[in-house]
Amino acid sequence: DAKTTQPPSMDCAEGRAANLPCNHSTISGNEYVYWYRQIHSQGPQYIIHGLKNNETNEMASLIITEDRKSSTLILPHATLRDTAVYYCIVRPTNSGYALNFGKGTSLLVTP
Amino acid sequence: NAGVTQTPKFRILKIGQSMTLQCTQDMNHNYMYWYRQDPGMGLKLIYYSVGAGITDKGEVPNGYNVSRSTTEDFPLRLELAAPSQTSVYFCASSTAGRRNTEAFFGQGTRLTVV
């Protein structure tokens, strides 16, 4: 399974863009990059996913490098409610499409 | 729309006791999963199911059992509880047959074994 590397923690000022990096240098050609977040030990929440093109939805944007070895999740205008642990996950090709969670990045949005 | 519902939300067990963690989903998802999360760690897959009657082990299955008799329900059974099973347990579901869909998670069951 492809593994991911994320910084353990980051800070961001409220109203500014939060850019969360993720390295996945061993990703396979048919593996997608998923982002989830977990607020206050609640159940994880899906944010966005992509294969090789950049993606945007109402929550965030996902920028994937051309070689697909890294990606960045962008929260364009971070709010205090975005304080959470953010997980970058490369979906495995087996195990019933299950998600392999690492330790993620703990994002603190400050006033 | 309730999504994924887990019961109970909290439970304290004594060593050696048994219990069943309940999980039900109302989205007609074929895929269901059980994860555990230890303090400060990410989620680890315990068991998963690709449909009624079909289950398989994940990364940390020892000490647990599952069954899937209906599409909606995926209970997790703990036999002979041990302190190492103190954790938060999350159930999740996702759509069958599509590799790119999101998983929906329940709010978790916080289990303490003393």
**pLDDT tens string B30-72:** 899 999 999 888 899 999 998 999 999 999 999 999 999 999 9
Token pair recorded at residue A83: 């304080």
Note the pLDDT of residue A96: 56
pLDDT of residue B8: 97
Mean pLDDT of A21-30: 91
Q: Are strands B109-113 and B10-13 parallel, antiparallel or unpaired?
A: parallel
pLDDT for position A110? 97
Tokens 């103190």 -> residue:
B86
pLDDT tier, B2 (very low <50, low <70, confident <90, very high otherwise): confident
Contact A10, A20 (CB under 8 A): yes
B-chain CB neighbours of A104 within 8 Å are: 42
Contact B106 A43 (CB under 8 A): yes
Non-local (6+) Cβ contacts of A29 within 8 A are none
Whether A53 contacts chain B with CB within 8 A: no
Query: Which residue type does A19 have?
Result: N
- Shortest distance, CA B109 to any CA of chain A (angstroms): 10
Residue A32: predicted pLDDT: 87
Point out the residue among B31, B44, B105 whose CB comes nearest to the CB of A44. Answer: B105
Residue A50 clears pLDDT 70, i.e. is over it: yes
pLDDT, tens digit, 9 for 90 and up, residues B65-104: 999 999 999 999 999 999 999 999 999 998 755 555 688 9
